[in-house]
Amino acid sequence: MPTLKLEAASAKRLVELLSTDDAFRERFLTDTAQAIVDTGHVPESDEALHDFVKQCCSNIKLADKDSIAKAQKEIFAMLTSGTGYNVPMLEHGKGAPRTLR
């Protein structure tokens, strides 16, 4: 299974844009690979990025901007550590801190 690990600056920019910018959110849904590159990410290869998007991002459903903003630290940690073996389970409204499982 392909993995994606972003540099800190790209991960930060991605989370910021997903939590604030409607046009970027739409681009992320329609052309995920290009949206990731637009954050400053330089993929190992175009093929690797497109394989990751094809296998791991085919049915993206974005949380609302406020939920993404509230979970910035958790999302940032996931994106900078690599997504190959982390499944984000960000509980909403449970009264407990969000955790990665």
Q: What pTM did the predictor assign? A: 0.75
Query: What pLDDT is stored for residue 86 in this prediction?
Result: 46
Domain boundaries in the chain? 8-100
CB of 57 within 8 A of CB of 32?
yes
Distance, in Å, from the CA atom of 91 to the CA atom of 12, rounded to the nearest integer, reads: 21
Q: Which of 3-7, 27-31, 32-36 has the lowest mean pLDDT?
A: 3-7
Q: Which residue has the higher pLDDT, 86 or 28?
A: 28
Distance, in Å, from the CA atom of 68 to the CA atom of 71, rounded to the nearest integer, reads: 5
Instruction: Compute the average pLDDT of residues 33-47.
Output: 93
| C-alpha to C-alpha distances, 25 to 21, 22, 42, 70, 77, nearest whole angstrom | 6, 5, 20, 16, 20
Instruction: Compute the average pLDDT of residues 35-62.
Output: 89
